[in-house]
């Protein structure tokens, strides 16, 4: 209670102070709204539910997970209602990951994207499927190239390190922003692009002005803005035609003949669209369809419009509609993600919001950096990462997520248009009608 009194009476001397207070008050208010016994029950239940989910997934048995998911959902709806204090519970949960985001705004942007993405996916998958890379790629060579790419993309090894783990992730911030990556002998893109993705997250943290370190402003402002950095590094820059020119040469230096005839085929292989059920393995086009499916289903679950007993069927129906082929097993459908078992409702849409923000930032960046492709072709994304540091990263949590993106884009409010244009241009050319 004393914290609340201090926060109520505190006055900000400047813009930075105002931001610190805004973030502290936001967290404090949210923490107070959830009753202690509910927070305890949620912590206990979700750590149990994660184990149940892992077993159910291994056994492909949604029915084994359904009872505990029902319990998690019941508590999350209570938590959402407590946080919302009369407004929309789902939006209150979303606010924990993307402060200030409106569920209806997201819905409108996603509804604009969905038919265009379904059409693009349909057209691409009617074409003969491109083969993935084929071969045995030396693990040391992959790791050496991953480190080189990290450095080229601006990762500061004096304030971080890269290690191998089962899942790629990034953690920490400021002067200690670490990442992990993984090696798959037959698919070096897994390692290389996971690394570039995590480097985007880590560079955001490393790029925040030193003055904000160890303060609430000293971290990425939201999950969505964080994902915009990892995605723009990975996709708009790392999978660009220009950067593929450089990467093709480097991979041949390191691995010898990689079984790809020329640069154009290499670019097409890096950006191949393929059938698959797993979100984390999806390409740039289909990834967002995965997220929208989860967003619509979890919103309906929290609203009480969809029951857990009907969830698997709802998932499979929606998947078949948007992807054009059926789900075979629960582990490649409704049981594939850990999120709901640990109570992460309202988290999924931030993935697509990140892609959408990356689209906006990429459009603004390209307008200001006309020579960027020349640099990327030489393996130098420095102008792009410098632009992102100056316009987004260094500000940390100084402004709201939406305002952070809008300011970087010359005041233009974020929307789905730029991402859709980018995807249509890129994949329309790779998969002509």
Residue-wise over 216-234: b if at least 16 C-beta within 10 A, else e? bbbbbbbbbbbbbbbbbbb
Residues 6+ apart with CB under 8 A from 305: none
Closest CB 199 distance from Zn ion, rounded Å? 11
Q: Which of 111, 37, 99 is nearest to 415 (CA)?
A: 111
| Chain centroid to CA 101 | 16
Closest CB 201 distance from Zn ion, rounded Å? 6
Closest CB 228 distance from Zn ion, rounded Å? 10
Closest CB 95 distance from Zn ion, rounded Å? 20
The residue at minimum Cβ distance from Zn ion is 230
| Chain centroid to CA 289 | 13
- Residues designated catalytic: 198
Please calculate the CA angle 58-62-68 and round it to the nearest 5 degrees: 100
3-state class of 273 per DSSP?
coil
Closest CB 200 distance from Zn ion, rounded Å? 7
Closest CB 223 distance from Zn ion, rounded Å? 9
In the complex with Zn ion, the residue whose CB is nearer, 222 or 230, is 230
Q: Which of 1, 253, 20 is nearest to 145 (CA)?
A: 253
Q: Report the alpha-carbon distance of residue 135 to residue 129 in Å, rounded.
A: 18
In the complex with Zn ion, the residue whose CB is nearer, 20 or 230, is 230
Longest dimension (CA), the chain: 68
Residues in contact with Zn ion, counted by CB under 5 A, come to a total of: 1
Strand ranges of the sheet holding 176-181, from the earlier edge strand across to the other edge? 162-164, 176-181, 169-173
Residue-wise over 95-104: b if at least 16 C-beta within 10 A, else e? bbbbbebebe
The answer to whether residues 66 and 309 touch, using CB atoms and an 8 Å cutoff, is yes
| CA within 13 Å, CB half, 10 | 17
In the complex with Zn ion, the residue whose CB is nearer, 232 or 364, is 232
Q: Report the alpha-carbon distance of residue 392 to residue 232 in Å, rounded.
A: 12
User: Six-digit token pair at 344?
Assistant: 């992460």
Q: Report the alpha-carbon distance of residue 162 to residue 140 in Å, rounded.
A: 13
Closest CB 220 distance from Zn ion, rounded Å? 11
Question: Helices in 127-187 by DSSP H: which ranges?
Answer: 139-152
Q: Report the alpha-carbon distance of residue 329 to residue 59 in Å, rounded.
A: 10
E strand or H helix at 194: helix 188-207
The answer to whether residues 65 and 58 touch, using CB atoms and an 8 Å cutoff, is no
Q: Report the alpha-carbon distance of residue 193 to residue 418 in Å, rounded.
A: 22
In the complex with Zn ion, the residue whose CB is nearer, 142 or 230, is 230
Contact string (CB under 5 A) for Zn ion, positions 28-67, x = contact: ----------------------------------------
Q: Report the alpha-carbon distance of residue 392 to residue 396 in Å, rounded.
A: 7
Contact string (CB under 5 A) for Zn ion, positions 217-236, x = contact: -------------x------
Q: Is 181 in the site for Zn ion (CB under 5 A)?
A: no
Closest CB 138 distance from Zn ion, rounded Å? 27
Q: Which of 180, 233, 175, 235 is nearest to 205 (CA)?
A: 175
In the complex with Zn ion, the residue whose CB is nearer, 230 or 236, is 230
Closest CB 221 distance from Zn ion, rounded Å? 15
Nearest-10 crossing angle of helices 349-368, 382-391: 110
Q: Which of residues 249-268 bind Zn ion (CB under 5 A)?
A: none
Contact residues for Zn ion, defined by CB under 5 A: 230
């Amino acid at each position: 209670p004393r914290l609340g009194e201090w926060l109520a009476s505190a006055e900000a001397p400047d813009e930075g102070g105002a931001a610190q207070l805004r973030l502290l008050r936001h967290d404090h208010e949210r923490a107070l709204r959830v009753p202690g016994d509910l927070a305890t029950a949620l912590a206990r239940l979700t750590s149990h539910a994660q184990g149940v989910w892992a077993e159910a997934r291994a056994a492909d048995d949604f029915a084994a997970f359904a009872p505990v998911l029902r319990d998690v959902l019941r508590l999350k709806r209570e938590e959402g209602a407590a946080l919302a204090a009369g407004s929309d519970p789902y939006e209150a949960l979303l606010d924990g990951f993307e402060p200030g985001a409106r569920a209806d705004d997201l819905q409108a942007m996603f509804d604009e994207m969905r038919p265009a993405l379904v059409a693009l996916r349909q057209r691409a998958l009617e074409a003969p499927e491109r083969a993935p890379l084929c071969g045995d790629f030396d693990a040391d060579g992959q790791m050496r190239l991953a480190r080189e790419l990290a450095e080229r993309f601006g990762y500061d090894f004096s304030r971080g390190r890269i290690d191998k783990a089962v899942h790629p992730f990034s953690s920490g911030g400021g002067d200690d922003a670490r990442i992990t990556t993984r090696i798959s002998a037959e698919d070096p893109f897994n390692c290389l692009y996971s690394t570039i993705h995590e480097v985007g997250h880590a560079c955001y943290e490393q790029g925040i002005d030193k003055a904000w370190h160890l303060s609430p402003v000293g971290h990425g402002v939201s999950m969505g803005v964080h994902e915009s950095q990892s995605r723009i590094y990975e996709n708009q820059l790392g999978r660009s035609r220009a950067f593929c020119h450089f990467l093709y040469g480097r991979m041949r230096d390191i691995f010898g003949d990689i079984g790809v005839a020329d640069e154009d085929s290499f670019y097409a292989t890096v950006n191949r669209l393929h059938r698959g059920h797993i979100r984390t393995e999806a390409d740039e086009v289909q990834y967002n369809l995965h997220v929208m499916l989860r967003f619509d289903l979890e919103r309906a679950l929290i609203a009480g419009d969809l029951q857990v007993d009907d969830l698997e069927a709802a998932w499979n129906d929606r998947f078949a509609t948007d992807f054009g082929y059926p789900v075979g097993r629960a582990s490649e459908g409704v049981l594939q993600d850990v999120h709901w078992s640990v109570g992460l409702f309202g988290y999924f849409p931030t993935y697509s919001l990140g892609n959408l923000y990356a689209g906006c930032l990429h459009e603004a960046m390209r307008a200001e950096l006309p020579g960027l492709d020349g640099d990327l072709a030489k393996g130098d994304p420095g102008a792009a990462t410098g632009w992102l540091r100056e316009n987004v990263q260094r500000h940390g949590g100084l402004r709201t997520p939406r305002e952070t993106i809008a300011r970087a884009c010359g005041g233009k409010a974020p929307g789905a248009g730029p991402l859709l244009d980018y995807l249509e241009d890129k994949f329309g050319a790779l998969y002509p009608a």
